[in-house]
Amino acid sequence: MQEQLQRLEKEAVEKVSQTENVKDLQEVQVAYLGRKGSITEVLRGMGKLSKEERPVIGELANKVRAAIQEAIDEKKELLEQAELEKQLEKETIDVTLPGRPVNFGGTHILTSIIEEIEDLFIGLGYEVREGPEVETDYFNFEALNLPQGHPARDMQDSFYLTNELLMRTHTSPVQARTMRSLNGNEPVRMICPGKVYRRDSDDATHSHQFTQIEGLYVDKNVRMSDLKGTLDLFAKKMFGKDREIRLRPSFFPFTEPSVEMDISCKVCSGKGCSVCKQTGWIEILGAGMVHPKVLEMAGYDPNVYTGFAFGMGPDRIAMLKYGIDDIRRFYTNDIRFLKQFHEA
- CA dist 197 and 103 (Å) reads 32
256 annotated to a ligand binding site:
yes
Identify which of residues 37 and 286 has a Cβ nearer to ligand 2U9 in the complex. Answer: 286
- For ligand 2U9, the closer of residues 13 and 318 by Cβ is 318
Residue 196: CB minimum distance to ligand 2U9, A: 7
β-strands 134-136, 127-128 pairing: unpaired
Least distance to ligand 2U9, CB of residue 313, Å: 4
Which CB atom, from 32 or from 139, has the smaller least distance to ligand 2U9?
139
Residue 291 near residue 272, CB atoms below 8 Å: no
Continuous segment of H or E residues that includes residue 152: helix 151-155
42/312 with CB nearer ligand 2U9: 312
For residue 69, count other CB atoms closer than 10 A to its CB. 16
Residue 341, C-beta contacts closer than 8 angstroms, at least 6 positions apart: 106, 107, 108, 109, 112, 322
Taking the complex as a whole, how short is the minimal distance between the CB of residue 297 and ligand 2U9, in angstroms? 9
CA distance 47 to 149: 115
CB 218 within 8 A of CB 307: yes
Residues that bind ligand 2U9 (CB under 6 A): 144, 170, 172, 175-176, 212, 214, 216, 252, 254-255, 285-288, 290, 294, 309-313
Give least dist CB 337 to ligand 2U9, A: 22
CB closer to ligand 2U9, 272 vs 299: 299
What residue type is 46 in one-letter code? M
Sign of the alpha-carbon torsion through 326, 327, 331, 333: positive
For residue 294, the minimal CB distance to ligand 2U9 (Å) is 5
In whole angstroms, the minimum distance from the beta carbon of 101 to ligand 2U9 comes to 39
Nearest to 39 by CA among 26, 48, 30: 30
CB of 228 to ligand 2U9, least distance (A): 14
C-alpha 189/C-alpha 296 separation (Å) is 18
| Residue number, nearest CB to ligand 2U9 | 286
Upstream peptide bond of 302 is cis (omega within 30 degrees of 0): no
User: Which of 32/126 has CB closer to ligand 2U9?
Assistant: 126
Residue with smaller CB distance to ligand 2U9, 280 or 313: 313
> What is the Cα–Cα distance from 282 to 241, expressed in whole angstroms?
16
Cα–Cα distance between 240 and 265 in angstroms, integer?
Answer: 11
- The residue type found at 125 is G
Residue 127, SS3? Answer: strand
Write out the binding residues for Mg(2+). 256
Mark the binding-site residues, compressed into ranges: 256
